[in-house]
Structure 1
Amino acid sequence: MDYALLVPIILFICITYAIKAVVDARVRKQLVSSNGSPELLQSIMASDETNRRLSSLRWGITLVALAIGFGIVQGAGWTEINPGVIALLIGALGLGNLAFYALSRKQG
């Protein structure tokens, strides 16, 4: 694997995440300093917490489904990347997202 290509990609992802974190913190600071109603701030913070929890659930379900897809590929003994392997992995991602949708609909 060529690590010379991997380092700039990871650097770009880290910089993007840092910018997002700073912008989110600044927006929250402005909300608090604008003397908004406590109920509004409480609902915004509760909604952020719910979104974070649901995001973790989505990634967990999707990654488990992808791991199952990779396990099937390994168990079947497929060693080459072909359209069947790609279809299986994309299908696993789709099933993971559908499972998340079904669970989130039951909760909400």
Structure 2
Amino acid sequence: MDYAILIPITMFVCTYLSIKAVVDARTRRQMVAINGSEDMLRSLLDGEEARRRQASLRWGTILLALALGFAGIEAFGWTEATPGVFALLLGATGIGNLVAFALARRTR
């Protein structure tokens, strides 16, 4: 595997995350500077916290389903990239998304 391709990908991800952090911080600072009502600011921050928790729940569920998919590949003894391997991984991702959706609806 050519690890040189990971450098631009990592740089892109780091650049994206740093720009996102700066934009989010600037948006929060502008909301405070506008002197909006405290109730409005509190509801925005609470909504952001809820979205962050939902994202963590979703990613955790998807990664767990993918781990089970990889465990299934190992259990079947598949060593080559075949359509069955991809079908198992895509199915695990889909099941992870559906479970995350069901969990998110139940926690509301």
Distance 1:71 1:81 in 2: 15
Q: Give yes or no for the alignment of 1:92 onto 2:88.
A: no
Kindly provide the amino acid, as one letter, of the partner of residue 56 in structure 2.
Answer: S
Letter in 2 for 1:39: D
What is the aligned length? 108
**Structure 2 Cα separation of the partners of residues 74 and 44 of structure 1:** 45
Is 1:2 aligned to residue 6 of structure 2? no
Query: What displacement does 1:53 show?
Result: 0.7
Root-mean-square deviation over aligned CA pairs = 0.6
Q: Which AA in structure 2 matches 1:91?
A: G
Q: Structure 2: how far apart are the matches of 1:65 and 1:3?
A: 27
Distance in structure 2 (CA, Å) of the matches to 1:51 and 1:107: 12
Query: 1:28 corresponds to which letter in structure 2?
Result: R
- What TM-score results when the alignment is normalised by the length of structure 2? 0.97
- Deviation beyond 6 Å, 4+ runs, structure 1: none
Residue 2 of structure 1 deviates from its aligned partner by: 1.3
User: Per the alignment, in what secondary structure is the counterpart of residue 78 of structure 1?
Assistant: coil
Which 5+ residue runs of structure 2 have no aligned equivalent? none
Q: Residue type of the partner of 2:21?
A: A
Equivalent residues in 2 for 1:27-42, closer than 5 Å: 27-42=27-42
* Alignment of structure 1 residues 75-90 onto 2, 5 Å: 75-90=75-90
Shift of residue 56, structure 1, vs aligned partner? 0.6
- Measure, in 1, the Cα distance between the counterparts of 2:56 and 2:25: 20
- Partners of 1:2 and 1:33 lie apart in 2 by 49
